[in-house]
Amino acid sequence: MRLVFAGSPSAAVPSLTALAAGPHEIVAVLTRDDTPQGRRRVLTPTPVALEADRLGLPVVKARRLTPEVTAELTALEPDLGVVVAYGALLREPLLGMPRLGWINLHFSLLPAWRGAAPVQRSLMAGDTVTGAAVFRLVPELDAGDLYGTLTRPLDGTETAGELLDELAHSGADLLGGVVDRLADGTARATPQSGDVTLAPKLTLADGDLDATRPAAELIDRFRGVTPEPGARVDLDGTSLKVTEARVTPADEAPLEAGRLESRGRRLLLGTASSPVELVRVQPAGKKGMSAADWWRGLPDTADRRVTLPAAPGTTDIDTDTKSTS
């Protein structure tokens, strides 16, 4: 078949590589425009654009799917469109342009976690199983019939970066099989069933670790926001990035929520239940380091605490002087 592949981040690269090595012809690779990266804001192609160049495939870069982009892709007469994290919604008339429509590789067990951050939201919710799905693209967000799925049990230690990399590779095999079955006419799609949950894009605020929550919830959030946007605690008005954290043994002595304490070679953070161990941290403006080494370098570690969220209904405004006009 003649394929158009649409994708942008590194998670889409294994699928592009696998399809390019198969029997089908990729007539175009649709990806997002180059974006400024690094301190010098150098315009940098997407990982998919770089891989397409390596493979010698024609690339179409577009931030918006304009009529001109639609016309360019339509002229190629593709049989099938394949999407893996392109970064924008496909709409008509582009959606109905390929002879067999479009399929999408999504990194969740649909209908769970429809949206931009399925792996991250799944970990943050403490799910015990996840997976990937290939479905027919329809106008409604991630709601099309399923052509195939794979499942992956979770052991509670995976970070979003590690899990996404794994699913990107196993999902590429799943996607390739669906494409082959569509080519020979044996593919069968079934409607999604079950409860729908949504996975909106993460913000910087999603990385805030709330020490008033139980340890398991705090670790799940850490896993879901690592490496991006990154987990953080606030200490004396300064953000401290947490790059590695783990649960403590079941018999660990409790510690007041928000309090930091060194025990042996470990730095512990108190939560609403058992403490969690901060293994590696990155202070603002510095490189990552052992949390224990960072702690020993502080001028005063007596009764140090991270900032806790304000209680519901509280305010920083002085109610005696607040204007009522």
Cα separation of 34 and 39, whole Å?
Answer: 16
For domain 204-296, give the CATH number.
3.10.25.10
User: Residue 322's pLDDT is what?
Assistant: 34
CA distance 220 to 227: 13
- Reply yes or no on whether the pLDDT at 314 is more than 60: no
Q: How confident is the model at residue 319 (pLDDT cuts 50, 70, 90)?
A: very low
Distance CA 221, CA 230 (A): 10
Q: Read off the pLDDT of residues 149-174 as tens digits, 9 standing for 90 and up.
A: 999 999 999 999 999 999 999 999 99
Q: Please tell me if the domain spanning 2-184 has the same topology as the one spanning 204-296.
A: no
**308/216: higher pLDDT:** 216
Which of the two residues, 259 and 299, has the higher pLDDT score? 259
The upper half-sphere exposure of residue 299, i.e. CA atoms within 13 Å in the direction of its Cβ, equals 0
Question: Mean pLDDT of all residues in the chain?
Answer: 93
Residue 200 CB: number of other CB atoms within 10 A? Answer: 12
Task: Please determine, for residue 317, whether its predicted confidence score (pLDDT) is greater than 60.
Answer: no
Fold exhibited by the domain 2-184: Rossmann fold (3.40.50)
Statement: residue 318 has pLDDT above 50? no
- Under DSSP, is residue 190 helix (H, G, I), strand (E, B) or coil? strand
pLDDT at 45: 95
Determine the pLDDT at residue 311. Answer: 58
User: What per-residue confidence (pLDDT) applies to 316?
Assistant: 43
Gyration radius from the chain CA atoms: 23
Q: Is the pLDDT of residue 325 over 50?
A: no
Alpha helices in the chain (DSSP H): 13-20, 47-55, 67-74, 118-124, 160-184, 215-224, 291-296
Domain ranges of the chain: 2-184, 204-296
The pTM of this model reads 0.91
Question: What is the DSSP-derived secondary structure letter of residue 296?
Answer: H
